[in-house]
Amino acid sequence: MTSRTTRSLAQRSLKGRQLAAISVVAVAALGLAACSSGKSNAGSSGTPTSGGSSSTTASASQPAPSGSSAGGDLNGGKPVTLTWWHNANTDPGKSAFQKVAADFHAAHPNVTINVQPFQNEDIKTKIPIALQGTPPDIFQQWGGGALAQQIQSGKIADITQFTQSWIGDLGKGAAGWAVDGKQYGVPYDYHVVGFWYRTDLFQKAGISDPPATLDDLLSDITKLKAAGITPIALGGKDKWPDAFYWENFILKECPQDTIVSSLNAKKLSDPCFVKAGDDLKKLIDAKPFNSGFLSTSAQQGAGSSAGLLANGKAAMELQGDWEMAVIPPLTSDKQVASKMGFFPFPSVSGGQGTPGAALGGGDGFSCSTKAPDACAAFLQYLTSVPVETELIKANAITIPSNGKATDAIADPTLKKVLAYLQGVTYNQLYFDQYMTAAIGNAINDAVSNFIAGQGSSADLAGTVAKAASQ
């Protein structure tokens, strides 16, 4: 879960109080195919009246790990066992989630949660198959275009009535788990992508400030190479880290309206998309990446791109906030966290990108139709301030979906990331999640091939329309 694995949904949410002011942004940032869905989502999540519409959620409205509430109302008081598939198959996430399930059962004895952790790539394969038969009752959900496809199975519960009293606590980001104004899932954390770097290696190469522009970045790459340091680690085997580069360049080259309307039209015809490819080419030509980056995985082991950064064998990596959770287990250096810094993706000269734009997403869960009220109550409990605070302390999540739980973030670098995120006005969901799976996969493949030296910037921009036509 702490990985990008984690990736998912769209715009990261800011605090709830900012909701109304940025509904226009929500429209654009909205994860789904149609702009209209965004508008209605923002509306529903923006009216967090405390009463709620459903009495069934009442018993769970005050989540208490100590089990003080009876919980007899859920599922009509009848015993029910919910199967929970999540991707936190390693500690600390695994134990943390196990505890959440046990505590919820203690508070609601008739609801038993059968926890089944899976490796992230496995769960991605298992969920579509399960949705063709009997799906698990609570399962990993990254929202966006894939969610819109999954609900066509008719096996994902519309939990709007159970969530509307509290979904506002999760900010406008929760709209990414909604389709056409109906809530089909709930995020438990949010993500934003930027450059992670080793402050010690930057110092060694004589770089005082992290780069703010592409030109700065290119000159820093030269400095790092001169100092014998691999400038950037890239997990090209997994493809999505490749796509982060192109998508970030697009955010710098193209204004928000252009990006959102082009993605929704499934056609990237504006010249700015080609420019983004040219920018990426400029970066690739500087040869900043680790040796063998085309077959390097992103997060598995010391030889992965995260591992290279963790062990000081590369100076930078473009990754999400989860990096701070991924890195420590990959090195014996106990001080690694204090050596990490974060800077936003550098700007490009003449770029038309909307200021305050960033790439991000989040992790969440969807419910089956078996006992949606109990499932929604569980998700409410999971995303409540005390539980998310615990999850942060356990290092199971980095940036909580519940804005009020962000106080628990202690790491100074992560605090900087949080501050950056709170200043983001337009958080575009990773393209591969925003689009349908087929188009998203095609984007990742195309950027990966581009970085391997195949195809032109124009071909790259044409990928979306080509994939949409198939």
Partner 1 sequence: MSTQSRTTTRPGEPGPGVGPSGEALGPDRAKARSGPRSSLRQRTELTILLGPALVLFVGFVLVPIAVAVYYSIYKWNGFGPLKDVVGFGNYRRALTDTVFLHSIIHNVIIAGLSLLIQLPLSIGIALLLNRKIRGRTFLRLVVFAPYVLSSAVTAVMWSLMLQPGGFIDHLSKAVGIGAHTWLADIHIVLYTIFVVASWQYMGFGIVLLLAGLQGIPSELREAAALDGATAWQTTRMVILPLLGPTIRIWIFLSMIGSLQLFDLPWIMTGGGPANASSTMSTYLIDKGFHSYEFGYGSAVAVILFVICFVFALLYQRFALRRDTQGALTRMVR
Where along the sequence are the contacts to partner 1 (CB under 8 A)? 124-125, 128, 131-132, 146, 149-153, 236-239, 290-296, 301, 303, 436-438, 440-442, 445, 448-449, 452-454, 470
Which tokens hold the place of 227? 């100092």
- In the complex with partner 1, which residue's Cβ is closer, 399 or 439? 439
Q: How far is the CB of 155 from partner 1 (least distance, A)?
A: 8
Asked if residue 428 lies in contact with residue 359, where contact means CB atoms within 8 angstroms, the answer is yes
Q: How far is the CB of 433 from partner 1 (least distance, A)?
A: 12
Which DSSP category does 266 fall into?
Answer: T
Measured CA to CA, the distance from residue 462 to residue 300 in angstroms comes to 32
Q: How far is the CB of 436 from partner 1 (least distance, A)?
A: 7
In sequence order, which residues have a C-beta less than 8 Å from that of residue 116 and are 6 or more positions away?
83, 84, 85, 86, 136
Q: How far is the CB of 93 from partner 1 (least distance, A)?
A: 22
Q: How far is the CB of 19 from partner 1 (least distance, A)?
A: 31
- In the complex with partner 1, which residue's Cβ is closer, 109 or 301? 301
Count the Cβ atoms, other than its own, within 10 Å of residue 218.
17
Task: Please calculate the CA angle 329-241-325 and round it to the nearest 5 degrees.
Answer: 25
Three-state SS at 14 = coil
User: 249-252, long-range: CB within 8 Å, 24+ apart, which pairs?
Assistant: 249/275, 249/276, 249/277, 249/279, 249/280, 249/348, 250/276, 250/353, 251/345, 251/353, 251/354, 251/357, 251/358, 251/359, 251/428, 252/276, 252/279, 252/345, 252/346, 252/347, 252/348, 252/351, 252/353, 252/357
- In the complex with partner 1, which residue's Cβ is closer, 240 or 249? 240
Rounded to the nearest 10°, the torsion over CA 312, 313, 319, 323 is -40
Asked if residue 286 lies in contact with residue 451, where contact means CB atoms within 8 angstroms, the answer is no
Measured CA to CA, the distance from residue 118 to residue 419 in angstroms comes to 32
What are the helix (H) ranges across 266-322? 271-285, 305-310
- In the complex with partner 1, which residue's Cβ is closer, 54 or 441? 441
- In the complex with partner 1, which residue's Cβ is closer, 169 or 247? 247
Q: How far is the CB of 332 from partner 1 (least distance, A)?
A: 17
- In the complex with partner 1, which residue's Cβ is closer, 405 or 435? 435
- In the complex with partner 1, which residue's Cβ is closer, 122 or 257? 122
- In the complex with partner 1, which residue's Cβ is closer, 222 or 454? 454
Q: How far is the CB of 113 from partner 1 (least distance, A)?
A: 25
Q: How far is the CB of 260 from partner 1 (least distance, A)?
A: 22
